[in-house]
């Protein structure tokens, strides 16, 4: 037999990765070596000409032309206008002397830095003996800061730091000399000199200045001039909440960012969260394995579209800032992809100067939260079974004898102390650790950054893990008016999940023992003709497995060209590859195959997906200020992308017993089964214009228009236009406010309207597809059958989004308030509906546009500083946020009756219904009058108010809503010198939930369900005799119970979501240790939870509580 040698796909992609890295490095090296040796920029001669220009414009142009760094106060130069300058073959010194003549502004040049100041040098200082002091200025990470202005307080004497952050300054012979250090984006510091020893100065970032910038991924805009609803958080704020992932931190920090609680999978590290920003825009989440969740926000990572998994895996120490864009004025710039909101993530960029090294490490201990479980013990469960008549078969003597023997055997076991606690068996204390290393540096025009991170999560269930390794290489090169950037990222995740769900251990009865008398795990806890109870430990000890791998890498290349200070051109190109594989094998000895034919025992499943995404974008940005009051910003751009994806998978059954887990040992495919393959290509293209106008920074106007094209929608509806308009009024810049009210930093009103869209739908929604019939081919070849009817007229789903809001900062920055009210209308909706059998489509589904959903609500945030002494690093603040929202459907008619029938009578019954005038989050049920004390039967309330014992779905009404009236976070933050602490409590008020535990483990316990353990309330709270006032029906009644309002309960809760205690060592101390900075933190997450509803949480995988310790340092 001839064998063909195959090359593993990983080897192919590894070669591509190495080739990409080599090409990127070669390009940058070639560019670097093209720079010729030249004289110092200060002495280089140039031609320079400007007419009737402001000093600010001239300095900006000189900075670009000379490649020098200019530092000055905007207030000092903003009034200097109307300058004419004509210079031919002159040096920078000569040009500056001419420009600054008669302006009252002086300048000083040190190395490649120019510092401008208002006023003349103070001549009052004595010209006698002087001393000298030297030092170095760095940021918190230890990176040197070039161009820091250092002044002797009370004079104009000073200097600036060089490219290494080093300075030297001559001091007058006088007592109490104070040096003032100032730098753009940093807090001003004052240092009293006591001797002439070298100084080490560490400057702190000015958080207020960072917060004032809104990063949209396409342009950056000062918050003061932006009309959109947005929230920006820097890396420090995100890490102050926790170090799990950025998703968990955003949930705490912003009220509009809602992470839906997964009551089934709890803290499973391999389950990605479901996220909503301002509710849902799509009614039903119709998707395939190659598409995103239609209600998920758009993620932007360093200017390129990204996936939820990439953001979830992102090393938190790499994050510089995250901006959440919420309303149309901020999201419509992304057109047809932005109706669910946009999350823009910016990672840290390399810094110039000497080689810098930053390390952060985190050790985490987590354990399962089982406080919501209320299961019976051994004696309670046996007593319950006896009361419901499990061991009574008076009509069958043989069966009755066997059942009685089973009862007394269990009773004897309980008497000798058997009371097994099964919940602890699959659990462990999770020991997790995370490490991150980042090295950056560079000189002059070239900068680089290299990062490597590892995150190992073991999970609180045995055989559960998630190991993530990531790396990145960032390269930046500046050549005159050009800037080149290349970002390479790689991410690999190995995952493993337990074979036996946690619910199977919760179901095991406590009167059984885990092991037999020989200490062995038996297959069955009890196996008779009438009782068959499997041992979950037996299945867990087999050689079954459920594992997966996800490998992704991307390369992003960016070129920026700034021909003049007012104009910037940028081109961005990106490529992302992702491949995933999932394998699951179940041993033929697993009890699930007990009743299966011998030749079909054991199963294997394999699914593989691969995708390649290509992106390209070109933007032209123009910014201009006319007559000092008219500010214009215009962005013209075009974007195109292509996503090629394919998936394939198969299942096999029939494996021999033993270590034969590979698919080659399988006997066959499942009955009627065969390998599956799916391939899709999605393309999109768009062109856009974005504009901003501000008059005197008081009256603001934002507008955007984008033409979008996508292959997702019908051939007759490929293109659509999306738009947005925003208005703002900066009242704090009005004279009648500024002159009469002190302490107002911001008082801004804003409003917006627009229609962003959503295209996170299946790529095959518009296409008529056919399926090959592998079991029905003939002499003429393979046969096909109609799988799905396409809809060439399928329209885009757009949302008309209206928003009004305010931003207030008063009391000298002590109180900050932000509020927004939104009103969104999605019309038409895109919904999958069933087709009649006469259509011939085997999938029986097609996509249609109909119906409308209206969403409205508000969010608010407030922060108040009780103590605010920032210069001393002492403050105490309290904060809170909240959200409220509601939805309403219209135009649905009876076209979703298929879904309503499934929710009422399907295998997974629920209380959801889809009707006109209703909220999709409404809880529908027949009203209950409770349990009749005389009979133990439930009384129902008909729509007309009459009481009846007969249940009818025709009497269903809305009894509650699952969304809370108000939900948010209350917290406090305290800092004293290097010590800091913050707490965040999550509250939820006014919501209701259908208690599935009461429905399934207190009632609806059939005879077959008695092999499982049940909730204690099934024994203590059910009706047993006439006259009992009970919440639940007759304990001996095992008939099915319908869903009624009796199982709907208030769901109010309060939990400690995050607690952090930290200490940052003083710069003076860490410098003695040879470090740039050192910080220690301890975290506690989800430590306690109080709730008005008693319901099991984390049924397949429990929720967890955690404590972690983190260290971060720089060299």
Q: How confident is the model at residue 7 (pLDDT cuts 50, 70, 90)?
A: very low
- DSSP per-residue letters across 541-607: TSS-EEEEEEEEEEEEEEEEEEEETTEEEEEEEEEEEEEEEEEEEE-TTSGGGTTS-GGG--EEEEE
Q: How confident is the model at residue 941 (pLDDT cuts 50, 70, 90)?
A: very high
Say if CB 466 and CB 433 are below 8 A apart.
no
Q: Residue 125 pLDDT more than 70?
A: no
Q: For position 335, what pLDDT does the model report?
A: 85
Say if CB 498 and CB 462 are below 8 A apart.
yes
Residues 6+ apart with CB under 8 A from 523: 534, 535, 538, 589, 591
The whole-number average pLDDT for the span 639-646 is 94
- Output 940 or 35, whichever has higher pLDDT: 940
Dump pLDDT digits (tens) for 926-938: 999 999 999 999 9
Query: Distance between CA atoms of 452 and 472, rounded to whole angstroms?
Result: 7
Dump pLDDT digits (tens) for 809-846: 999 889 999 999 999 999 888 887 776 666 666 676 77
Dump pLDDT digits (tens) for 857-873: 999 999 999 998 877 78
Q: How confident is the model at residue 211 (pLDDT cuts 50, 70, 90)?
A: low
Structure tokens at 928: 């209950």
Contacts 24+ apart (CB under 8 A), 785-789: 785/840, 785/842, 786/839, 786/840, 786/841, 786/842, 787/841, 787/842, 787/843, 788/764, 788/841, 788/843, 788/845, 788/846, 789/835, 789/839, 789/841, 789/846
Query: Distance between CA atoms of 300 and 217, rounded to whole angstroms?
Result: 7
Q: Tell me the residue length of the chain.
A: 1115
The rounded percent of the chain whose pLDDT value lies above 90 is 56
Q: How confident is the model at residue 285 (pLDDT cuts 50, 70, 90)?
A: low
Is residue 142 helix, strand or coil? coil
- Kind and range of the H or E run holding 819: strand 815-826
Query: Distance between CA atoms of 376 and 658, rounded to whole angstroms?
Result: 37
Q: Which residues pair with 333 in a beta bridge?
A: none
Q: Which of these, 762, 494, 795, lies nearest to 643 by C-alpha position? A: 762
- Output 142 or 756, whichever has higher pLDDT: 756
Dump pLDDT digits (tens) for 655-697: 999 999 999 999 999 987 888 888 888 899 999 999 999 998 8
Q: Residue 1026 pLDDT more than 80?
A: yes
Q: How confident is the model at residue 982 (pLDDT cuts 50, 70, 90)?
A: very high
The rounded percent of the chain whose pLDDT value lies above 70 is 89
Q: Residue 121 pLDDT more than 60?
A: no
Dump pLDDT digits (tens) for 1043-1060: 999 999 999 999 999 999
- Output 165 or 199, whichever has higher pLDDT: 199
Say if CB 941 and CB 928 are below 8 A apart.
yes
- DSSP per-residue letters across 359-390: EEEEEEEEEE--TT--B--HHHHHHHHHHTTT
Q: Residue 13 pLDDT more than 50?
A: no
- DSSP per-residue letters across 579-596: EEEEEEEE-TTSGGGTTS
Phi, psi of 239 (to 5 degrees): -75, -15
Q: For position 351, what pLDDT does the model report?
A: 80
Q: For position 397, what pLDDT does the model report?
A: 87
Convert 663-711 into a string of H (helix), E (strand) and C (coil): HHHCCECCCCCCCEEEEEEEEEEEEEEEEEEEECCCEEEEEEEEEEEEC
Dump pLDDT digits (tens) for 683-734: 999 999 999 999 988 999 999 999 998 887 766 777 889 999 999 999 998 9
Dump pLDDT digits (tens) for 534-562: 999 999 999 999 999 999 999 999 999 98
Is residue 1021 helix, strand or coil? coil
Query: Distance between CA atoms of 136 and 151, rounded to whole angstroms?
Result: 15
- Output 82 or 268, whichever has higher pLDDT: 268
Q: For position 81, what pLDDT does the model report?
A: 78
The whole-number average pLDDT for the span 1090-1097 is 95
Say if CB 474 and CB 404 are below 8 A apart.
no
Is residue 1011 helix, strand or coil? helix
Query: Distance between CA atoms of 679 and 610, rounded to whole angstroms?
Result: 10
Q: Which of these, 531, 540, 538, 502, lies nearest to 410 by C-alpha position? A: 531
3-state class percentages of the chain: helix first, strand second, coil last, to nearest 5:
15, 45, 35
The whole-number average pLDDT for the span 990-1018 is 94
Average pLDDT score over the chain: 86
Q: Which stretches within 300-371 are classed as H helix? A: 308-313, 328-331
Structure tokens at 202: 């560490």
The whole-number average pLDDT for the span 1028-1045 is 93
Q: For position 18, what pLDDT does the model report?
A: 43
Say if CB 576 and CB 552 are below 8 A apart.
yes
Query: Distance between CA atoms of 1095 and 555, rounded to whole angstroms?
Result: 47
- Output 1067 or 958, whichever has higher pLDDT: 958
Q: How confident is the model at residue 750 (pLDDT cuts 50, 70, 90)?
A: very high
Instruction: Identify the DSSP state of 427.
Output: B
Tell me the CA distances in angstroms from 773 to 646, 650, 768, 845, one per residue in order.
20, 16, 16, 19
User: Using alpha carbons only, what angle is made at residue 1035 by residues 1029 and 1037, rounded to the nearest 5 degrees?
Assistant: 115
Query: Distance between CA atoms of 460 and 367, rounded to whole angstroms?
Result: 6
Rg over CA atoms, the chain? 34
Dump pLDDT digits (tens) for 917-928: 999 999 999 999
Q: Residue 109 pLDDT more than 80?
A: no
The whole-number average pLDDT for the span 398-414 is 92
Dump pLDDT digits (tens) for 768-797: 777 777 666 666 777 777 777 777 777 878
């Amino acid at each position: 037999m001839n064998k063909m040698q195959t090359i593993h796909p990983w080897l192919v992609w590894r070669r591509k990765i190495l080739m990409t890295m080599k090409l990127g490095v070669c390009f940058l090296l070639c560019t670097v070596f093209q720079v010729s040796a030249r004289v110092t920029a200060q002495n280089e001669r140039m031609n320079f000409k400007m007419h009737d220009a402001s000093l600010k414009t001239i300095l900006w142009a000189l900075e670009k032309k000379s490649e020098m760094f200019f530092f000055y106060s905007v207030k000092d130069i903003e009034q200097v206008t109307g300058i004419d300058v004509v210079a031919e073959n002159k040096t920078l010194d000569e040009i500056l002397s001419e420009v600054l003549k008669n302006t009252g502004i002086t300048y000083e040049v040190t190395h490649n830095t120019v510092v401008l100041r208002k006023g003349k040098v103070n001549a009052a200082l004595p010209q006698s003996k002087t001393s000298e002091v030297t030092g170095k200025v760095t940021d918190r990470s230890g990176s040197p800061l070039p161009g820091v202005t250092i002044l002797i307080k009370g004079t104009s004497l000073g200097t600036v730091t060089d490219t290494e952050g080093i300075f030297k300054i001559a001091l007058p012979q006088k007592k109490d000399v104070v040096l003032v250090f100032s730098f753009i984006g940093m807090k001003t510091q004052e240092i009293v000199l006591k001797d002439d020893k070298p100084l080490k100065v560490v400057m702190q970032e000015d958080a207020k200045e960072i917060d004032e910038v809104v990063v949209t991924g396409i342009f950056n805009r000062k918050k003061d001039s932006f009309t959109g609803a947005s929230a920006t958080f820097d890396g420090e704020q995100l890490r102050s909440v926790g170090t799990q992932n950025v998703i968990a931190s955003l949930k705490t920090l912003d009220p509009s960012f809602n992470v839906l609680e997964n009551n089934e999978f709890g803290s499973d590290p391999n389950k990605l969260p479901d996220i909503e920003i301002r509710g849902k825009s799509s009614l039903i989440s119709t998707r395939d394995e190659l598409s995103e969740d239609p209600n998920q926000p758009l993620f932007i990572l360093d200017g390129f579209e990204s996936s939820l998994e990439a953001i979830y895996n992102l090393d938190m120490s790499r994050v510089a800032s995250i901006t959440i864009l919420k309303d149309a004025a901020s999201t419509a710039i992304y057109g047809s992809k932005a109706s669910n909101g946009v999350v823009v993530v910016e990672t840290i960029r390399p810094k110039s100067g000497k080689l810098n090294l930053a390390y952060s490490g985190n050790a985490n201990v987590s354990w399962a939260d089982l406080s919501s479980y209320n299961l019976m013990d051994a004696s309670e469960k046996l007593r319950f079974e006896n009361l419901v008549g499990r061991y009574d078969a008076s009509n069958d003597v043989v069966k009755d004898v066997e059942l009685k023997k089973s009862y007394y055997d269990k009773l004897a076991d309980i008497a000798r102390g058997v009371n097994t606690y099964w919940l602890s068996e699959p659990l462990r204390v999770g020991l997790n650790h995370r490490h991150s290393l980042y090295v950056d540096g560079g000189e002059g025009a070239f900068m680089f950054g290299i990062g490597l991170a590892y995150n190992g999560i073991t999970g609180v269930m045995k055989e559960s893990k998630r190991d993530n390794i990531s790396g990145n290489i960032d390269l930046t090169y500046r050549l005159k008016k050009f800037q080149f950037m290349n970002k390479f990222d790689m991410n690999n995740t190995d995952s493993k999940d337990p074979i036996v769900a946690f619910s199977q251990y919760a179901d095991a009865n406590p009167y059984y023992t885990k092991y037999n008398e020989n200490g062995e795990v038996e297959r069955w806890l009890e196996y008779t003709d009438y009782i068959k109870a499997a041992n979950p430990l037996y299945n867990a000890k087999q050689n079954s497995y459920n594992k997966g791998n996800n490998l992704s890498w991307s390369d992003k290349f960016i070129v920026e060209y700034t021909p003049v200070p007012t104009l910037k051109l940028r081109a961005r190109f990106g490529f992302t590859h992702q491949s995933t594989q999932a394998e699951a094998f179940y041993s033929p000895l697993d009890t699930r195959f007990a009743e299966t034919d011998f030749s079909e025992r054991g199963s294997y499943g394999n699914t593989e997906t691969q995708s390649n995404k290509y992106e390209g974008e070109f933007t032209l940005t123009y910014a201009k200020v006319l007559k000092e009051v008219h500010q214009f910003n215009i962005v013209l751009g075009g974007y195109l992308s292509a996503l090629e994806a394919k998936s394939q998978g198969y299942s096999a059954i029939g494996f021999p017993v033993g270590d034969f887990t590979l698919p080659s040992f399988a006997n066959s495919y499942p009955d009627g089964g065969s390998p599956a393959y799916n391939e899709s290509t999605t393309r999109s293209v768009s062109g856009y214009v974005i504009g901003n106008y501000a008059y005197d920074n008081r009256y603001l106007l934002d507008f955007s228009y984008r033409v979008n094209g996508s292959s997702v929608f019908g051939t007759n509806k490929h293109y659509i236009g999306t738009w947005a308009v925003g208005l703002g009024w900066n009242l704090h810049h009005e004279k009648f406010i500024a002159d009469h009210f002190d302490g107002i930093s911001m008082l801004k009103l804003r409003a917006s309207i627009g229609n962003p869209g959503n295209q996170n739908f299946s790529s095959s929604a518009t296409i008529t597809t056919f399926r090959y019939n592998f079991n029905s081919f003939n002499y003429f070849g393979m046969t096909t059958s109609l799988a799905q009817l396409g809809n060439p007229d399928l329209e885009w789903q757009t949302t008309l989004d209206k928003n009004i809001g305010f931003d207030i900062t008063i009391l000298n920055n002590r109180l900050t308030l932000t509020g927004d009210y939104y009103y969104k209308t999605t019309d038409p909706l895109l919904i999958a509906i069933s087709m009649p059998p006469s259509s011939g489509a085997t999938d029986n589904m097609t996509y249609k546009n109909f119906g409308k959903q209206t969403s409205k609500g508000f969010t608010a945030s407030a922060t108040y500083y009780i103590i605010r002494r920032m210069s001393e690093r002492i403050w105490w603040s309290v904060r809170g946020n909240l959200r409220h929202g509601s939805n309403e459907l219209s135009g649905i008619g009876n076209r979703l009756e298929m879904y309503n029938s499934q929710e009422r009578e399907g295998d997974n019954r629920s209380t959801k219904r889809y009707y006109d005038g209703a909220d999709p989050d409404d809880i529908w049920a027949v009203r209950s009058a409770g349990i009749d004390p005389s009979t133990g039967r439930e009384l129902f309330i008909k729509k007309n108010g009459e009481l009846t014992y007969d249940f009818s779905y025709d009497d269903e009404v809305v009894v509650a809503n699952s969304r809370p009236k108000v939900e948010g976070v209350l917290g406090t933050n305290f800092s004293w010198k290097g010590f800091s602490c913050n707490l965040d409590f999550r509250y939820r008020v006014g919501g209701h939930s259908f208690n599935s535990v009461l429905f399934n483990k207190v009632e609806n316990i059939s005879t077959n369900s008695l092999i499982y353990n049940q909730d204690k309330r099934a024994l203590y709270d059910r009706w047993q005799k006439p006259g009992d006032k009970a919440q639940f029906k007759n304990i001996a009644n095992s008939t099915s119970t319908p869903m009624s309002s009796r199982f709907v309960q208030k769901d109010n809760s309060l939990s400690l979501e995050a607690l952090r205690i930290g200490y940052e060592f003083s710069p003076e101390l860490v410098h003695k240790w040879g470090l740039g900075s050192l910080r220690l933190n301890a975290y506690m997450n989800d430590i306690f939870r109080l709730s008005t509803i008693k319901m099991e949480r984390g049924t397949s995988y429990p929720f967890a509580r955690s404590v972690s310790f983190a260290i971060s340092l720089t060299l």
